[in-house]
Structure 1
């Protein structure tokens, strides 16, 4: 759990068997929690979000900050390395894309023409042949 989640749980009265309880004081069933998350996302002005989407976003954000596939497995309870590797590879592609564009930007700002004088004052490209 993140520190923020730990602090939120510590600040509220929680059930013995579950952290999130329905309005009837019972633990949510899977479908009920998904529906409630939909309500909470809508109330927060995030109609494009869902519990599954938020989980996927976390699964991408963590490896973007350096989390390994094994760490993702521990966090999300996955037993298949292949699942975790999907998110690590997605994060790596994003990072590599950003790195490539940063290098391109730096190279376009650099001088691409030598500022030194030619070795031979009569040197030209006209004398060179592709043959």
Structure 2
């Protein structure tokens, strides 16, 4: 389970990075601007997105790693997928919360440096 969660994290970071960069291009920003319209920092702002952004920026980076691993012959267990979803949501809510929680970000081994760095993105 830990191995599958780790691979999902690595693949998610790569896919999310490219999808998020795409959402900041002129052609796609209209779907991402709602997320940047949030003024305050609160955890549920992580979920504030248009349908197009939810698909491109949230769903693809979460589901594609599990599908890729399964296609490569390492079928992701339900426990590994739920563990991964839990880690991803905790991380996303933490960086949108406005609180700097470096111990949590480090513990989850995610690419973000925390709420301060994410707030600079907004």
TM > 0.5 fold call:
no
Q: TM-score, normalised by structure 2?
A: 0.30
Bigger radius of gyration: 1
**TM-score between the two structures when normalised by the length of structure 1:** 0.29
The higher-RCO structure (CA 8 Å, 6+ apart) is 2
The structure with the greater share of residues assigned to helix is 2
